[in-house]
Amino acid sequence: MLTGMASVRKAFALLDVVASNSRGMSAKEIAAALDMPLPTVYRLLKTLVASEHLVHLKDESRYGLGYKLHALDSSLRRQIGTPPAVARLIRELHVRADAAAYYAVHRGDDIVVAHVVDSPARPRITPMGFGFNDAAHATAFGKVLLAAMDPERRAAYLERHGLPEMTDRTISSPDQLEAELRNVLACGIAVEREEFIRGASCMAAPVTSPAGQTIGSVAVSMDPEDFAGRCARTEALLRDTADKVSRALRGTPMLQL
């Protein structure tokens, strides 16, 4: 049993390291990156190629991600499920706010980005695309959803994820974060100023169920210079969009928590 679990962990680690390289990797490069014996790497590669999770790029003597992963990605998007009406509202927010726009939700014990709309002129924060589920303490939408958790659930989340310092402005003290989250609950808006990454600031508002339970968050990101001058208007747009999303979700399965 342990051998089987060890093989599964190694296979996932191998997929992760291949995914990190845009050109794919050779077996020797994978072995070096994972500090794994080359025979073990070849054995795992053979299994993953057979299952179509990897492809062997024979002309380049490299291995790349397989097409089976596209099906997994599509299935994940269906499971997280952003309704078309909500997607339209996030696109509208992107245009009205002239900023990258995000929709995030609770998914089990995680906080995950379910939809993003951006443009070349107003790009999203890297790596904050669909499926991003990290550093909630350093993001505006994350703060909204953390603030909505009961204390036990929030403590369990923070124990798993910690409070890593993303920049020198990240809140990394549990007491300071609790004070910040109390303020988010009181005013109904969360703000982060270059706490996740330098050069980007965010603001978010809660999406609620008919019972008043926070079930999601809408957010925008922009340059700190733009943020300072557009803060009041952006807050009004977020509150309006959050209200519209809340109403759009009524009667959908997403409210059946």
Is 242 in a helix, a strand, or coil? Answer: helix
Confirm if 205 and 246 have CB atoms less than 8 A apart. no
Query: Tokens at residue 229, please?
Result: 């001058």
Tokens standing for residue 227: 């943020």
Beta bridge partners of 223: none
Q: Are 202 and 219 in contact, with CB atoms under 8 Å apart?
A: yes
Q: Is 183 helix (H, G, I), strand (E, B) or coil?
A: helix
Position 219: which residue type?
A
pLDDT, position 168: 96
**9, 1 contact by CB (below 8 A):** no
Per-residue pLDDT tens digits of the chain, which is 257 residues long: 335 678 888 999 999 999 888 889 999 999 999 999 999 999 999 999 999 889 999 888 899 988 887 776 666 566 566 888 999 999 999 999 999 999 999 888 889 999 999 999 999 998 888 888 899 999 999 999 999 999 999 999 999 999 999 999 999 999 999 999 999 999 999 999 999 999 999 999 999 998 899 999 999 999 999 998 999 999 999 999 999 999 998 865 444 33
Domains by residue range for the chain, with CATH? 2-66 (1.10.10.10), 74-255 (3.30.450.40)
